[in-house]
């Protein structure tokens, strides 16, 4: 009779260094938004965000090119970079422009900044889901606009991607 085998130690999860996610909601504009988050520690990360796309305003057949670029530092108050509740701030610069025969030249830009609370979950395979909600203050200016426009808005991010 053979002696019993020692128990196999549970495989320890490898630390994650980055997450690459995209926003399916932006596809309805249509636009493509990509975020790359880098772990600065087990409970701290920073994401760089970029998007490009086009929208067609109501009562027009001309499309407006839109792009955005931003940064989002976040701290995982419960859990860590792999799975947990995060508190963060998102700062986004947005630019829109169009030129056409029926539409006068349009150029507008804005800055949105606001805090959020979110949750991130990473499967052992690396598949990643992330959701964030908060408030954002948006200030915008543009050519042909009588005065600058600013307002508060609801911030909602839903992302799908991969972590490694």
* Domain chopping of the chain, boundaries: 18-55+63-163
Indicate if the pLDDT at residue 107 is higher than 70: yes
> Within a 10 A sphere around the Cβ of 110, how many other Cβ atoms?
18
Number of helices and strands in the chain (H, E): 0, 8
**Contact (CB, 8 A) for 18 and 37:** yes
Phi–psi pair at 80, nearest 5 degrees:
-150, -165
Given this model, what pLDDT does residue 111 score? 95
Indicate if the pLDDT at residue 10 is higher than 50: no
Q: Which of 71, 135, 138 is nearest to 108 (CA)?
A: 138
- 18 or 3: which carries more pLDDT confidence? 18
Bridge partners, residue 112, by sequence: 92, 138
Given this model, what pLDDT does residue 7 score? 60
Whole-angstrom distance, CA of residue 22 vs CA of residue 51:
9
Given this model, what pLDDT does residue 79 score? 96
Average pLDDT on 6-14 reads 60
**Where does 18-55+63-163 sit in CATH, by number?**
2.40.160.20
Dihedral angle, C-alpha 19, 24, 30, 35, nearest 10 °: -10
Phi–psi pair at 24, nearest 5 degrees:
-65, -30
- Give the pTM: 0.83
Rounded-to-5 percentages of helix, strand, coil across the chain: 5, 65, 30
Indicate if the pLDDT at residue 31 is higher than 80: yes
**Contact (CB, 8 A) for 39 and 14:** no
**Contact (CB, 8 A) for 121 and 128:** yes
Indicate if the pLDDT at residue 99 is higher than 80: no
Given this model, what pLDDT does residue 64 score? 86
Average pLDDT on 18-34 reads 94
Element (H, E) at 142: strand 127-142
Q: Which percentage of the chain shows pLDDT scores above 90?
A: 67
Average pLDDT on 139-152 reads 73
On average, the pLDDT of the chain sits at: 88
Given this model, what pLDDT does residue 140 score? 86
Average pLDDT on 132-154 reads 82
């Amino acid at each position: 009779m053979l002696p019993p085998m020692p128990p196999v130690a549970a495989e320890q999860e490898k630390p994650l260094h980055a997450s690459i996610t995209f926003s399916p909601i932006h596809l309805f504009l249509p636009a493509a938004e990509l975020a790359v988050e880098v772990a600065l520690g087990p409970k701290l990360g920073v994401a760089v965000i970029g998007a490009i796309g086009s929208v067609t305003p109501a009562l027009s057949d001309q499309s407006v090119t839109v792009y955005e670029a931003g940064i989002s530092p976040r701290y995982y108050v419960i859990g860590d970079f792999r799975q947990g509740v995060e508190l963060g701030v998102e700062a986004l610069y947005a630019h829109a422009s169009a030129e056409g025969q029926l539409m006068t030249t349009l150029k507008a830009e804005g800055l949105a900044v606001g805090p959020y609370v979110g949750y991130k979950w990473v499967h052992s395979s690396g598949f990643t889901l992330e959701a964030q909600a908060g408030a954002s203050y948006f200030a915008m200016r543009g050519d042909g606009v009588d005065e600058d426009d600013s307002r508060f808005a609801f911030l909602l991010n839903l992302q799908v991607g991969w972590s490694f």
